Structure 1
Amino acid sequence: MRNLTISKKLLGGFISVLILLAIIMTINLVQLISLNHTYTELIEDRTKKMLQVKDMVIAVKSEQIAVRVYAMLGDETSLKGITSSHETYMTISKQLTAAVKTADMIEMLKQSDAAENEYFELAKEVSELKKQNKEQEFTALLSNQGRAIIARFEKILTDMEAYQQSLLDRSQAQASKQVEDVISLVIILGIITLILGLAIAILIGRLISKPITELAKAAEKIATGDLTGKPIMMKSNDELGMLSSSFNMMANNLRALIVRVGSSSEQVAASSEELSASAEQTSLVTEQIAITIQEVATGVDRQVTLAHEGFQTIHEMAIGFQQIAANTQSVSAKAAEASEKAISGNESIQTAVAQMNAINDTVSGLAEVISELDGKSNQINNIVGVITELSAQTNLLSLNAAIEAARLRGCRHRGTEAVPAIF
């Protein structure tokens, strides 16, 4: 049964039930044939024999009537009736003798035949006496010997009828008993068939439903998230066995998939934490870069302002130098007058000296401003270095910082180149 498919199991169950039904039908058919034979024998044999015995009685009665009529009337027709009735009786007797099988019936037929033959001889003797007109003799013969033969003959026929009736009653009882036996056998076989069919149905049902129930329970556990169940072991090689193998494979693959998903989830969580940390670090770095850029922009604006102020100071110095040159030329032209105006020239010289001292002070202040600008440039270079290091993490901010630093360097170079141009 384990190596049979479900269709073969079902087919085997149906075939088993059909075989049981065929056996029951065969047994019932045999019993019905036997019962039919019994009733056929009862109807055709027993009843026929009863009718034959009655026909024999009728033949004897007809013969007796024919003898009496002939004795009274001397009718030739009655004489022929005697012979005809005798022949009818003997024909029926031979048929009945050939049909009966019991010794009692055969013995009674012999006695009946003997009585019939004796009465037929009596009828012949009566006919002869009638022909001789010996009425008293044949009347006495019929009254004495004839009545005795008829009485004995009727007793034999009555016994035959009673015997055949007893056989008929016995056959009817046997037939009734056989009918009851057939009914009992049919009921018993029906119950046995019902039990066997029910057993086969239960067996096949268990063979099919038990694995399905196990698969349903295992699937319910998996549906609730319990993947710790043991593999379903089925020893059958039918569709349910293949289904259980596929189910076990599915459960194993599902366990492996969940393990991989768990591992991937842990990796994703770790990566998320790393990304969160990197995002926080990037945010901090971005804030620092923004603050630094703001400070750089503030410093650059200040340097530009200082450079502009220095440029104005240098421009004013240049104008002063030009005035000094003009004054010097005026002093040279008026050297002759200076001698004349010594006192006035001395005062002018003192004034020029005072102006030169002022110019010297201004130039010293300008040198300090230029020194301060150089220090700011160094700070800008340091800040640019920091921005360059931060650009490895944030390319866009690094690029903007590099562009801003380049712009600042360009302004600083233009500022430093303006000083020699003025001088």
Structure 2
Amino acid sequence: MRLNIMGKLMLGFGAVLLLMLGTCLFLIMQMRSMNNDFTGLIKLKAYAYGESNDALAHYNAAAAYLRQYILTRDEDLASRYQQSVKDGDDGLEKVAPLLERAEAKDLLQKFQAQAADFKQYGDQVISLIKASKSASEADRVKIEEQLAQHHQSHSGVVRNLTGAGTAFADFEKQVLDDGAGRTASRANRAIAISIILVAVTIVLGLLVAFIIARMITAPIRLVDAGAAKIAAGDLSGEGIDLKTKDETGRLAESFNTMLHNLKEIVRHLQEKSDTLASSASELSASAQNVSAGASETASTISQVAGTVEQVTGNASHIAGMAEQAAVHAREGSEGIRNIRMQMDAIQQAAAGTGEVIRNLYETTSRITQIVELITHITDQTNLLALNAAIEAARAGEHGRGFAVVAEEVRQLAEQSAGAAKEIYALITTIQQESQKAVQSMEMSVARVENGVQVVEEVGLTFERIIEAVQKLAGEIREVAAAAEEMSSAVQNVAAAAEEQTAAMEEVSSTTQNLAGLAGELDTLAGHFKLA
């Protein structure tokens, strides 16, 4: 039968209570037996002893009254004698039914026989004395002689009565003492047995308590030892194997479940700490790479900003030179009207090229548009300068000054083209549409060459040059303004890149802290021993 802790405790305490109950019942029985013995001793033996002593005392008193009566002839003494004898006889009659032993009964019979002799002796003495009182003098003398003879013949009757009464009383006293001794011995034996039973009850109670305590505390000690191992970080145990189905068994099952869950938590914690440390390392490396890339980007953007500033300066210089070229072109336009007609055709072709460039400007980024525009302008300027030089050579002396201006324009255009190529080299990654612009420029060049072939008059060409130079000056101004805007944008991008670099440094620092925390977490998980 499997009991829970309450059942075990109730069983143990019930066993102890049963032992105590048995002991109490035994003590009650012993006390009742001793009470019966004591009652018998008091009611029977002590009473018999007392009555025997009282009867002897009454008989002794009667003998004393009789002696006094013989001397005084007082009738009151005779009455007292008779009453004392009667009391003595009544006492012996009360004692007779209480006697159990034959020896006591024999002694009582002897006592009663001596009492009867004493009574006969006393009654005869009283009769003689009463007769003497009413007799004549002569008869009184005879009666007195009879009285003397009677007294002499019964001289030992009182002594015999006293001896028999004393013997009976002494025997009853001995019986009383023997009964008291037996009662005391039985009481002592009962006390000894009670002490033994109490001691046995205590020992058995302690034994039962020890067994039950061991049944209860042994599993608890196992659980306590397992909990101490867990507190020390040792999770390598296989749990507690208890066969009991009481509260301690359920406690052991709960402990085993807790141990299993702790093992799973620590394993999961170790795995996640390793993963966290690895992820933190990767994140730190990525942050460092991003930070390095951002720094490189900021450096590149700074270079682009410097180049843009240079382009802005060159564009401003080109605008000034274009204005000078326009002045010289207007001075020579009066003599070369025919050239202007051909330049109109060139202007139309250039206008078509400008339209293509504007379409390209709308479909590409702002920086690419500016670079392609600069490239287009520089190529156009070179072409125009070449055409102007050719026409100036044809014009002879009239076109010599214009040839010098065309050469300056060509050199400035070459410088702008060099700067544009440098910008193009720095931002090639964002110029995916540049090939379309190149093709469009080639088409423009082809048209201009076709226009040159049909130019009939140098004047028209110069007018075209004037218009083109004026337009070029405006576009160069736009380029300068755009370059300034691009410079501001590049500076903003540089600031953003620096902020990104700082943010990546913070991310790197945070990931390092995270890696440190992952290490601490792994160290903490390492404190637990799983196997």
Query: TM-score interval w.r.t. the shorter chain?
Result: 0.7 to 0.9
The answer as to 2:439 corresponding to 1:384 is no
Cα-to-partner distance string for 1:109-149 (whole Å, 9 max, x where unaligned) = 122222322333344444454426422223222212x2344
Amino acid of the structure 1 residue aligned with 2:328: G
Shift of 1:366: 5.6
Cα-to-partner distance string for 1:305-353 (whole Å, 9 max, x where unaligned) = 3333333333322222222335779xxxxxxxxxxxxxxxxxxx96446
Residue 143 of structure 1 corresponds to 152
Residue 184 of structure 2 corresponds to 176
Deviates more, 1:30-39 or 1:253-262: 30-39
Q: Classify 1:111/1:366 alpha carbon distance in 2 versus 1 (closer, same or farther; 3 Å).
A: closer
Residue 401 of structure 1 corresponds to none
Q: Classify 1:175/1:360 alpha carbon distance in 2 versus 1 (closer, same or farther; 3 Å).
A: closer
Residue 309 of structure 1 corresponds to 317
Shift of 1:103: 0.4
Contact 1:303 1:376 in 2 (8 A): no
Q: In the aligned structure 2, how far is the partner of 1:61 from the partner of 1:25?
A: 51
Contact 1:115 1:153 in 2 (8 A): yes
Q: In the aligned structure 2, how far is the partner of 1:70 from the partner of 1:358?
A: 204
Residue 115 of structure 1 corresponds to 114
Q: In the aligned structure 2, how far is the partner of 1:419 from the partner of 1:249?
A: 92
Q: Classify 1:418/1:198 alpha carbon distance in 2 versus 1 (closer, same or farther; 3 Å).
A: farther
Deviates more, 1:359-368 or 1:288-297: 359-368
Alignment root-mean-square deviation, CA = 3.4
Q: Classify 1:103/1:119 alpha carbon distance in 2 versus 1 (closer, same or farther; 3 Å).
A: same
Shift of 1:76: 4.4
Q: In the aligned structure 1, how far is the partner of 2:174 from the partner of 2:472?
A: 170
Residue 215 of structure 1 corresponds to 223
Amino acid of the structure 2 residue aligned with 1:141: H
Counting only pairs closer than 5 Å after superposition, residues 165-244 of structure 1 correspond to structure 2 as 165-244=173-252
Q: In the aligned structure 2, how far is the partner of 1:81 from the partner of 1:328?
A: 205
Residue 28 of structure 2 corresponds to 29
Q: Classify 1:367/1:94 alpha carbon distance in 2 versus 1 (closer, same or farther; 3 Å).
A: closer
Q: In the aligned structure 2, how far is the partner of 1:182 from the partner of 1:110?
A: 38
Residue 4 of structure 1 corresponds to 4
Q: In the aligned structure 2, how far is the partner of 1:419 from the partner of 1:203?
A: 119
Amino acid of the structure 2 residue aligned with 1:112: F
Q: In the aligned structure 2, how far is the partner of 1:309 from the partner of 1:205?
A: 108
Give the secondary-structure state (helix, strand or coil) at the position aligned to 1:147. Answer: coil
Amino acid of the structure 1 residue aligned with 2:228: E
Length-normalised TM-score, structure 1:
0.75
Q: In the aligned structure 1, how far is the partner of 2:42 from the partner of 2:405?
A: 171
Amino acid of the structure 2 residue aligned with 1:265: S
Q: Classify 1:357/1:91 alpha carbon distance in 2 versus 1 (closer, same or farther; 3 Å).
A: closer
Amino acid of the structure 1 residue aligned with 2:471: A
Contact 2:311 2:420 in 1 (8 A): no
Cα-to-partner distance string for 1:384-412 (whole Å, 9 max, x where unaligned) = 259xxxxxxxxxxxxxxxxxxxxxxxxxx
Shift of 1:100: 0.6
Q: Classify 1:121/1:370 alpha carbon distance in 2 versus 1 (closer, same or farther; 3 Å).
A: closer
Q: In the aligned structure 1, how far is the partner of 2:425 from the partner of 2:216?
A: 89
Contact 1:211 1:240 in 2 (8 A): yes
Contact 1:310 1:369 in 2 (8 A): no
Residue 471 of structure 2 corresponds to 421
Residue 156 of structure 1 corresponds to 164
Give the secondary-structure state (helix, strand or coil) at the position aligned to 2:155. Answer: helix
Contact 2:96 2:108 in 1 (8 A): yes
Cα-to-partner distance string for 1:259-306 (whole Å, 9 max, x where unaligned) = 222222122112212211211221122122222222322333333333
Q: In the aligned structure 2, how far is the partner of 1:25 from the partner of 1:242?
A: 39
Shift of 1:240: 3.6
Amino acid of the structure 2 residue aligned with 1:384: I
Deviates more, 1:234-243 or 1:349-358: 349-358
Cα-to-partner distance string for 1:220-260 (whole Å, 9 max, x where unaligned) = 22122111223233444444443333333222222222222
2:330 to 311, 322, 325: 322
Q: Classify 1:120/1:358 alpha carbon distance in 2 versus 1 (closer, same or farther; 3 Å).
A: closer
Residue 338 of structure 1 corresponds to none
Q: In the aligned structure 2, how far is the partner of 1:147 from the partner of 1:315?
A: 198
Task: Count matched residues.
Answer: 372
Length-normalised TM-score, structure 2:
0.61
Q: Alignment identity in percent?
A: 24
Deviates more, 1:55-64 or 1:91-100: 55-64
Q: Which has the higher contact order (CA 8 A, sep 6+)?
A: 2
Contact 2:307 2:419 in 1 (8 A): no
The answer as to 2:62 corresponding to 1:94 is no
Unaligned runs of 5+ in 2: 133-139, 338-394, 433-466, 474-531
Q: In the aligned structure 1, how far is the partner of 2:407 from the partner of 2:94?
A: 183
Unaligned runs of 5+ in 1: 330-348, 387-416
Shift of 1:80: 4.2
Contact 1:232 1:248 in 2 (8 A): yes
Q: Classify 1:63/1:368 alpha carbon distance in 2 versus 1 (closer, same or farther; 3 Å).
A: closer
Deviates more, 1:371-380 or 1:131-140: 371-380
Deviates more, 1:257-266 or 1:102-111: 257-266
Contact 2:307 2:423 in 1 (8 A): no
